[in-house]
Structure 1
Amino acid sequence: MGFTSSVFSQTTELHGQVITDLEAENIHIINRTSQKFTITNATGFFTIPSKLHDTLIISSIQHELVSVIIDAEMLENKKFQIFLKPLINLLDEVVVGKVLSGNLMQDLQNVDCTPMTALKAGIPSYQGKMPTQSERRLSYARSGMIGMIVNSLNGNIKRFKMQVQLEEKEELIHKIRAEQEENLFASFPLESNLRMEFWYFCAEGPDFLERCKNKNGVLVLQYLIEKLEVYKENRSE
């Protein structure tokens, strides 16, 4: 018997497993739609309540960020697997500047630097960015006059735009977290159980992409400190 629309709207306990060549324990699984959260066990298994079209974010410092949209097949089977790739941190810029003192606020004021990229150094490298699956879908939906009209009417273009922006934010906040978390919380402590919520609080900010995309580490850290103050104020209220 096939699913009905009423079944699609129900929340189901989904059983998933993360497959990876690295450590599979304590990988974060976030249902971005319902704001539910869990972590994997030693063998990569987890359970999280979900419903149709919910977005799951699989986040780990050691792995590439993965975003999954719950579909009817996953709900019907009530189980699925997610394959994670190791995160390879490539050196894409070298900052030449003053020696840092170790005092975070003092260093923020004193650092005056210009990033040295591979392009500036004359090293041959690919400077473009490979489109994601959602970006390819959006490009295809916009191709041709008839296709653009049809996909505008049925909402595909709007949905693909939202997915592209979601993935862009998730990828950026994952990168920022890997680079800034240790320094940020060393100087501005925050309970470990609140840190994941804080990162997504930052990503939801209307100025997040404008303030953090393609910006150097000092500017990004300034943004994080500002957001952390607001986050703590909101929780105290």
Structure 2
Amino acid sequence: MLKSKHVPQLLILLSFQVGMSQSIEIKGSVESNIGIENINIINKTTYNYAITNAKGEFAIMVRLNDSLQFYSMLHKTKYVVVNKNMLLLKTIKVALEEQVNELSEVTVGNTLTGDLFLDIQNRKGEPPVNFYDVGIAGYTGKIATQSERRLNEATTGGGFIPLNPILNAISGRTKQLKNQIKVEEVEALMQSIQSRLAKDFFLLNPLDEHLRMEFFYFCADDDNFIEACKNQTDFEIFKFLRMKYEQYLENRSDTED
């Protein structure tokens, strides 16, 4: 039989273990050198959603081992797994790194020597050739994004044996660039659908205002999101959103239970 002095400790332990399996609200803060407001926090396990205020503060429902995604256009995406200490203290602090888009160094115009007469002699006065002027068909298609240009550079190369594709495949850079392009494509498509269809969709499918952005991230996380929504009619997109709406409500119901 347990001694009476061990009973309080056992009750505390049991209550703590029960709490680990239930959703609780934790409060957190974000640190960054380039801005801490309007940073998206998504619980990738339960699809709860939060956004930071002007002080970088937020609150979100979590359980043990839930995965939290911190995302903004100015920062590198960061994932944090909820551990026991976070649940016990009901707080979390996350430092984000700046998303740096490096630009290659370029030289604009001719390099001047400081010798006026020599610079005049070396100047090139011919106007640039315009392919329209000489009757040559030029490229008029979609302008590639920075990530797409980087991927093209990483997967092409010159010489008898192109080294760029080989080296980048070994280092994993090619895979990283492909994933980045997919993330950008999904984000752009989601924002487009939200701006065009959100008002009409939520008139027929009610959802609290603070849950709507969470719902769209839930839709975008579907593996078939691009196939179901890209270059599709609004009617087809509405069908997909309606299907995800029912799944979303069911997931929230299970989480709250």
TM range (shorter): 0.5 to 0.7
Residue 168 (structure 1) aligns with: 185
Deviation at 1:39, TM superposition (A): 3.8
Match of 1:69 in 2: 76
Matched AA of 1:129: K
Q: Does the alignment pair 1:130 with 2:143?
A: yes
Correspondence for 2:40? 30
RMSD across aligned positions (CA): 3.6
Deviation at 1:31, TM superposition (A): 4.4
TM norm structure 2 = 0.51
Q: For the residues of structure 1 that align with 2:96 and 2:242, how far apart are their CA atoms?
A: 40
How many Å separate the matches in 2 of 1:187 and 1:159? 39
Alpha-carbon displacement from aligned partner over 1:3-31 (angstroms, at most 9, x marks no partner): xxxxxxxx99324666xxxxxxxx74214
Please tell me whether the aligned partners of residues 17 and 46 of structure 1 are also in contact (alpha carbons under 8 angstroms). Answer: no
Q: Is 1:188 paired with 2:205?
A: yes
After superposition, give the CA deviation of every residue in 1:76-129 in whole Å (9 maximum; x if it has no partner): x978699xxxxxxxxxxxxxxxxxxxxxxxxxxxxxxxxxxxxxxxxxxx9732
Show the counterpart of 1:150: 167
Distance 2:220 2:175 in 1: 20
CA distance in 1, matches of 2:163, 2:75: 29
Per-residue deviation, 1:136: 1.1
Please report how far the alpha carbon of residue 225 of structure 1 lies from its aligned counterpart in structure 2 after TM superposition.
0.8
Q: Residues 11-160 of structure 1: matches in 2 within 5 Å?
A: 13-15=30-32, 28-31=38-41, 37-41=50-54, 46=56, 57-58=71-72, 66=73, 68-69=75-76, 128-144=141-157, 145-160=162-177
- Partner residue in 2 for 1:214: 231
Residue 69 of structure 1 aligns with an amino acid whose one-letter code is K
1:223 aligns with 2:236: no
Q: Normalising to structure 1: TM-score of the pair?
A: 0.55
Aligned to 2:104: none
Deviations, residues 176-207 of structure 1 (Å, cap 9, x unaligned): 00111111111111122221221111001111
CA distance in 2, matches of 1:78, 1:202: 25
Residue 51 of structure 1 corresponds to: none
- Whole-Å Cα distance in 2 between the matches of residues 223 and 69 of structure 1? 30
Quote the offset at 1:138 in angstroms. Answer: 0.8
- Is residue 178 of structure 2 the alignment partner of residue 178 of structure 1? no
Q: Judging changes above 3 Å, is the alpha-carbon distance between structure 1 residues 140 and 47 closer, same or farther for their aligned structure 2 residues?
A: farther
Gaps of 5+ in 1: 1-10, 19-26, 49-53, 59-65, 72-76, 83-125
Aligned length: 158
2:252 aligned residue: 235
Q: Quick one: distance in 2 between partners of 1:55 and 1:233?
A: 22
Shift of the 78–194 alpha-carbon distance from structure 1 to 2, 3 Å rule, reads closer
1:130 Cα offset (Å) = 1.8
Q: Look up the SS of the partner of 2:194 in the other structure.
A: helix
CA–CA distance in structure 1, aligned partners of residues 196 and 147 of structure 2: 26
Larger Rg: 2
